[in-house]
Amino acid sequence: MRALLAGMLLVVAAAGCGKRQVKVVTAPKPAAAVTVSVHFTNNDNNAVNVFVVNQGTDLFLKQVAANSTEDLPVAGIASGTQVRLKATRSDGSKTYTSDPMALSATTMWRVP
């Protein structure tokens, strides 16, 4: 009886290991995301911390040195989103805030 049961299990296991036809395809490539960045010019004589203000939440981008220009990538906010930009001196003594603007691939802002 045990031999018969072992033989049946062997036949069932062997049938499960036979050739199977499998179709494999590559997933479609996602649409290229538009990279949003801020071309920022700091004309202040002090370094400033630059933020994007989106729906009342400040997203820190980078600290920009005095009298310099940088391209600041903005992660997690889609092109066309209405935001404000904010730059605060590193010592906290002054804050610059932009008017509302739509972010784009090359948003430009300068202070003061």
**With contact defined as beta carbons under 8 Å apart, do 90 and 55 qualify?**
no
Task: With beta carbons less than 8 A apart as the criterion, state whether 36 and 109 touch.
Answer: no
**What percentage of residues in the chain have a pLDDT greater than 90?**
65
User: What tokens does 11 get?
Assistant: 């036949």
Asked if residue 51 has pLDDT above 70, the reply is yes
What are the pLDDT digits (tens) for 59-105? 999 999 999 999 999 999 999 999 999 999 999 999 999 999 999 98
- Per domain, the residue ranges of the chain are 29-111
Q: Tell which residue, 53, 41, 63, has the closest CA to residue 112.
A: 41
> Which token pair is 54?
């989106």
Architecture of the domain whose range is 29-111: Sandwich (2.60)
- Going by pLDDT thresholds of 50, 70 and 90, the confidence category of residue 23 is low
**What φ, ψ does residue 74 adopt, rounded to 5°?**
-115, 110
Tokens found for residue 60? 């820190």
